[in-house]
Amino acid sequence: MSIHNQTLDRGRKLTVIGVLLLLAFGISCKPGTGKDRDSKKGAIAKRVLVMGLDGLSVEGFKTARTPHLDALFKDGSVSFTTRAVMPSVTLPNWTSHLTSSGPEQHGVDNNNWTREEHALDPSETDNDGYPVSVFKILKEEIPEIRIGYYYNWGNLINPMNRKYFDEVNFLEEDAFIPNCKRALDFMEKHRDRPSLVFLYNVATDHAGHENGWMTGPYITAIEEADMALGEVIEGLKSGDMYDDTHFILITDHGGINRGHGGMSPDEMIVPWAVRGPGIRQQQMTEPHSNTDTGIFVLKLFGKDGAAPDSWIGKIPRSVFK
């Protein structure tokens, strides 16, 4: 064989090897979105209770007497460094929790957002024009799941599509305890099915606006919320549902003086906590954001691979055992 032919043959072999290496590399390194498109484990959650306390600052949570929440999360993962999205305002941040995206994606940049009146359309919507929420994904991926949504600030539901809720209830004048009872009854009724409950209280935020963050009335509002949630926790224990429930505590922003919306640490850095089967006992140190909640809930149900491309949230992997 001539030197020329030997060189061509060697070149062909190198080309084939190169193509095979590229194919192997491509298969093992599929393009992703930072959300772990293919969940490595199946569902670990049967029931998830998301407890939302509006305007709960890190300092307020640490200062208030919260024996029920303290006892609940002593066996879980707690963050005191979670970041709100900007602006540090209520509706943008609750929407970010439930859509795992920022205002740039979901388009909710103020408390008056409605599907009919807003400046920026969501980058991805459901068939009715709402931002794609964790509720939509779970209803489509787990048809048997039951979802309850309980709130006491009227605008909170505006970015959410009600058709994904099996039960929804609004209370006026900051009432909270009746919704705690409803949420507990809902979980009991559907104890044999997968379920997700969102239980929200605005009273803490209103106490901050009316009296100032870290004032006596503000701390009292946190303590009253703890007492009400304690009844739910005890009800789950007595109903033999506590051990197979995942509990998540979230908030939208903190506050300073009588307001929020700025970029100070008191406004932007908030607590976040989770407790349940398969969850590690620790204080979280990894970077964490309000946008990470929705994708985390999907992960608990083993459906994080169904997260849409518009979601930017990341799963806090340190919380898993």
pLDDT of the residue at 44:
84
Residue of higher predicted confidence among 204 and 3: 204
- Number of domains observed in the structure of the chain: 1
Domain that holds residue 105: 31-319
Q: What is the CATH number of the domain that holds 248?
A: 3.40.720.10
Please indicate, yes or no, if residue 19 is contained in any of the structural domains: no
By CB neighbour count within 10 A (0-12 exposed, 13-18 middle, 19+ buried), where does 243 fall? exposed
Answer whether residue 83 shows pLDDT above 80: yes
Other Cβ atoms within 10 Å of 39 Cβ, number? 18
Per-residue pLDDT tens digits for 146-174: 999 999 999 999 999 999 999 999 999 99
Please indicate, yes or no, if residue 156 is contained in any of the structural domains: yes
The mean predicted confidence, pLDDT, of the chain is 91
> In this structure, what DSSP letter does residue 253 have?
-
Please indicate, yes or no, if residue 4 is contained in any of the structural domains: no
pLDDT of the residue at 119:
97
User: Residue 214 half-sphere exposure, CB side, CA atoms within 13 Å?
Assistant: 11
Please indicate, yes or no, if residue 25 is contained in any of the structural domains: no
**Separation CA 80–CA 78 (nearest Å):** 7
**Separation CA 300–CA 25 (nearest Å):** 29
Please indicate, yes or no, if residue 305 is contained in any of the structural domains: yes
Answer whether residue 32 shows pLDDT above 70: no
269-275 vs 146-151, strand pairing mode: unpaired
Confidence of residue 8 (pLDDT cuts 50, 70, 90): very low
Per-residue pLDDT tens digits for 209-248: 999 999 999 999 999 999 999 999 999 999 999 999 999 9
Collapsing DSSP to helix, strand or coil, 215 comes out as coil
Please indicate, yes or no, if residue 9 is contained in any of the structural domains: no
Confidence of residue 303 (pLDDT cuts 50, 70, 90): very high
pLDDT of the residue at 24:
47
**Separation CA 114–CA 6 (nearest Å):** 71
By CB neighbour count within 10 A (0-12 exposed, 13-18 middle, 19+ buried), where does 25 fall? exposed
Please indicate, yes or no, if residue 8 is contained in any of the structural domains: no
Tell me, what amino acid is at 173?
E
Please indicate, yes or no, if residue 56 is contained in any of the structural domains: yes
Answer whether residue 20 shows pLDDT above 90: no
> What percentage of residues in the chain have a pLDDT greater than 90?
86
